[in-house]
Amino acid sequence: MSESSNKSSNKDSGRNPQPERFQPKVLLIWLVIITAIIALWYSMPGAGSNQRQLSVSELIMAVNEGAVNQDSGVMKPDPTLGKEGYIVTGEMRNPKFDPDDINSKEPKLVPFRVEGRLTESDFLLLREVVAERRSSTALQEILVSFLPFLLIIGLLYFLFVRQLKNAGRGAMSFGKSKAKMLTREKDSITFKDVAGCDEAKEEVSEVVDFLRDPKKFQRIGGRIPKGVLMVGPPGTGKTLLAKAVAGEADVPFFTISGSDFVEMFVGVGAARVRDMFEQGRKSAPCIVFIDEIDAVGRQRGAGLGGGNDEREQTLNSLLVEMDGFDGHEGVIIIAATNRPDVLDNALLRPGRFDRQVTIDLPDLNGRHEILLVHAKKIALDESVELEHVARNTPGFSGADLANLLNEGALIAARYNKKVVEMQDLDEARDKISFGRERRRLMDDEDRKITAYHEAGHALVQAVVDDGHLPVHKVTIIPRGQSLGSTMFMPKKDVLNHSKRRLLNQVCCGMGGRAAEEIVMGDITSGASGDIRMVTKTARHMVCDWGMTELGPVAYGENKDHIFLGQEIERSQNYSEQTAQKIDTAIHDIVEEQYHRSLEILNKHRKELDVCAEALLEHETIDGKHVLEILEFGEMRSPVIKREIVSENAQGSEGDGVEGSAAEEDNKNSDKGELAGEDTPVGAPA
């Protein structure tokens, strides 16, 4: 009982006060003040109306003449006018009003007011015409006298005193930490909800185990890491893993973003760091999660302006708090970033971030596990094979896979389906990898050029492929910024690039240009994206991978780093003669494979025409159709087209049954690469 109470008190002490919101009682108070001011205004003599001031004698004369309206008059004593002083108000007939004059615009009755002393006979006369009101008490007179002062004092309080108090509180809260403490809920995220990164889960689970049972590690002299840095590409699940740690650990969990330390005032970031660790010490043992730590952890003294003093002060405070003279026993820091290269070296040393956990893109088994987790919320058809989807999505991150299932559900709903089918997921994969189909109006000439261009890519790849990267789909329907696409589907995750397969990819990339030259006798700008892709691949082969006569020497050190985290550096560690040899080697690779693609297409000219005609007729054909054309000279399998059953579809998702997870050819686009430094062959970029 005492332990649970201590935990609850620690949580309450570490929780930040919620920001003040607009309170309804403040609005009620202001309404009361405004109402009182209006009542005071109308209670003042002569306020609220244009009353006619009369003397007592004029009033008596009007009463004798019968000019006073008997239903509207009021007579009440007024001690300020003496013992027999009275105030008489009411309405009387307008003497200027002529009842016989139709055009007269004067009012029939006008209000009047009389202040003065009344004799006994005048009092008795007026009492028959107007009503008598009792005299006000002393309390009423005091309230009427002091009400204006009370209103002024109340107004000054709410306008000045309260605002000054709030301003002072806000000024003092600049240095308070914005870290939020998460509480365990029923639907909190646990390790069961995280898939595709088993090694990373084991790394952070040690932290959770230490917090649950520290004697298990202390018994043999073990010391828990003070900090864990999670590194990986965007969308791989770094923040999700931190949420799972919060769900698994039965200790206070504070979360804050790196940008929350940045403020327009000097010294606020460092103050917030100190306050955050102070809250952590009060709630120890606890976990503090800093998301996107590169916002404050960049290298000091570097960049275009020589660094940022405010950011460096914040970083210095973070370094001291993590491992300084004042220890923070029981406060474990977990940070996440996708830019570990720009972090300061002092932040990465043991004693601060002792452990770096790399969360990379998931492999085949990881993608399958991620799909199983996210598929629990999606109504899938029985025919859907998630293992097949995982095999066809190399290079996809966890966020991409979640988006894939969501897009598939949206497409199925667009076609008025109750469950998500396999073709919906394939279509969603094409949409994510290459963009949405666009029914761009093209004339016959552009369609013909695009058809032969894509047919050239498909036939060359079908000829040179060894079963590693088969053709999956060919289409002349514009997607994204491209007018057509040739899609490939890798049989497995590509971890290494062989010289033979890279040359085949360069040959396939130049297939579109070669087809244009053979058929049209001319070349177009549609191969601009292909040229950039093959040039980049050839440059990697020469400069990075040592696949030419220049030998296994790296020539890729000529780089510019122009961002705040690093210095501007430009180095060239090879001579001009070597640079000329590099350019010659790149040119020879591209030129040789271009002539190779010309030989292949000239040899299969008939198949090229058949494939292009099929594209012009059906707009989209599958990889099996390309193989049939190459083997039999014609398509023997039917082309299945997707019928639109919903009016909302508007024909935008018209063709295609199979999806792709590979590479596209770009017409007039900068997208799509046959091989890249970090992107596997055929994987979505």
CB 533 within 8 A of CB 619: no
User: Rg (Cα) of the chain, in Å, rounded?
Assistant: 42
Amino acid present at 366: G
CB 207 within 8 A of CB 229: no
CB 309 within 8 A of CB 274: no
CB 359 within 8 A of CB 230: yes
Amino acid present at 270: A
Burial of 626 (0-12, 13-18, 19+ CB in 10 A): buried
Question: Given the structure tokens 């006798």, which residue do they identify?
Answer: 521
Which two tokens mark 168? 């002072």
The span from the CA of 394 to the CA of 491, in Å, is 9
For residue 544, how many other CB atoms are within 10 A of its CB? 12
> Degrees (nearest 5) of the Cα angle 211, 215, 221?
110
What contacts 639, CB < 8 A, 6 or more positions away?
614, 618, 620, 621, 622, 625
Helix (H) or strand (E) segment spanning residue 370: helix 364-374
Backbone dihedral region for residue 455 (phi beyond 0: left; psi -120 to 50: alpha; all else: beta): alpha
Strand partners, 418: none
For residue 528, how many other CB atoms are within 10 A of its CB? 15
Instruction: Decide the pairing of beta strands 109-117 and 131-132.
Output: unpaired
CB 255 within 8 A of CB 242: yes
Which two tokens mark 112? 């009047």
The span from the CA of 103 to the CA of 119, in Å, is 41
The span from the CA of 641 to the CA of 655, in Å, is 5
Burial of 378 (0-12, 13-18, 19+ CB in 10 A): middle
The span from the CA of 552 to the CA of 543, in Å, is 9
Which two tokens mark 522? 């001319």
Question: Given the structure tokens 């952070």, which residue do they identify?
Answer: 204
Catalytic-labelled residue, pool 292, 454, 516, 628: 454
Active site residue 278: no
The span from the CA of 69 to the CA of 62, in Å, is 10
The span from the CA of 39 to the CA of 380, in Å, is 69
By annotation, the residues acting in catalysis are 454
